[in-house]
Amino acid sequence: MHVLGYPSSDVTHRCTRRQEERRQARAMRKVTEAVEPELMARAMLRPEDDVIRATDLPEREQLRPPIPLDNPDHRACAECVLLAIRP
């Protein structure tokens, strides 16, 4: 069945994800109200820390030169690995 042009499973998944995000936001507000801000900062539990965790690259990846995939050997290796790990 489709709801507003989307399969019902997609709509259900989006609603479930939205509910989970709201639940996590409520839990985070409760924690931030109960715990001292200094302690939250030391434990890296602030929302700013989540942004850093989501966007930061490890130093080993920052220093590594990019791998050009236009080389046929690199492309073949990438495809081989992808086939090996794809379910």
Per-residue pLDDT of 59-71, as tens digits, reads: 888 888 877 767 7
Predicted confidence (pLDDT) per residue in 4-46, tens digit: 555 667 778 788 899 999 998 898 888 778 888 888 888 888 8
76 or 1: whose pLDDT is higher?
76
pLDDT of residue 4: 55
How many Cα atoms are found within 13 Å in the side-chain-facing hemisphere of 62? Answer: 5
For CA atoms 40, 45, 47, 49, the dihedral sign is positive
The two three-digit tokens of residue 85, written as one number: 């790990």
pTM of the model: 0.40
pLDDT of residue 77: 84
Q: What is the mean pLDDT of residues 83-87?
A: 85
What domain range includes position 52?
Answer: 2-85
Per DSSP, the residues of 27-87 read: HHHHHHHHS-HHHHHHTT-SHHHHHHHHHPPPHHHHHSPPPPTTSHHHHHHHHHHHHHH--
Reference 43, options 54, 27, 32; nearest CA is 32
- Conformation bin of residue 5: beta by default, left when phi > 0, alpha when psi is -120 to 50: left
pLDDT at 81 over 70: yes
Structural domains counted in the chain:
1
